[in-house]
A and B are shown apart, each in its own frame.
Chain A
Amino acid sequence: DGGITQSPKYLFRKEGQNVTLSCEQNLNHDAMYWYRQDPGQGLRLIYYSQIVNDFQKGDIAEGYSVSREKKESFPLTVTSAQKNPTAFYLCASSIRDNSPLHFGNGTRLTVT
């Protein structure tokens, strides 16, 4: 079955630590995305990548970094510079521009 895998489902970190969230897809999609979800805020775009070795900042990129070294993988690092990192993080992919997004199950990050 093709899909998007995010791991882990729950992640706990101490303040001041960087943490990397994994996102892998076997859908052969070119585009991948990271969204952050907070209660009442909807989905906010952090970073997106149209193709391997290329990525762009979304609306709330500060305090985050990404890489896209392989088509299948788009890891997100939440750095210590992110002021309020506790949130639900969703990774998605799409086959092309303006095509439907396929989401992973998400990672719930708690930083204390």
Chain B
Amino acid sequence: GQQVMQIPQYQHVQEGEDFTTYCNSSTTLSNIQWYKQRPGGHPVFLIQLVKSGEVKKQKRLTFQFGEAKKNSSLHITATQTTDVGTYFCNSGGSNYKLTFGKGTLLTVNP
């Protein structure tokens, strides 16, 4: 799998504020997947982006894949306490070897 860097590592926001996490690669990615892991839980698949420049929305979450397919972002509008958790990106590779970024831990102050 291709290495990806996620930033920031931690983010603390007040409820209602927006939040963005970024996933960056030095090489072109075939696709990217985003997962959410609640505290004490396991990662849960959110979305997969495949096309250059692709934008997908899930309620308050907006996912983007860069034009060069080297970066991606997850943006949450008006965070809620239910958004707390760690968000991971996963670089799609070939031959099943999937590599995760280190994740961004989001905490929300009510």
Contact = CB atoms under 8 A, between A and B. Distances in A.
Secondary structure type dominating chain A contacts: strand
Interface residues of B, number: 27
Given A40-B102, A42-B101, A97 B96 contact: yes
Given A90-B43, A103-B44, A45 B97 contact: yes
A56 B97 contact: yes
A59 B102 CA distance: 14
Most chain A beta-carbon neighbours within 10 Å: one of B90, B100, B103: B100
B89 to A, nearest CB: 10
Nearest to B6: A42
Interface in A24-59: 31, 33, 35, 40-45, 48, 50, 56, 58-59
Interface residues of A, number: 25
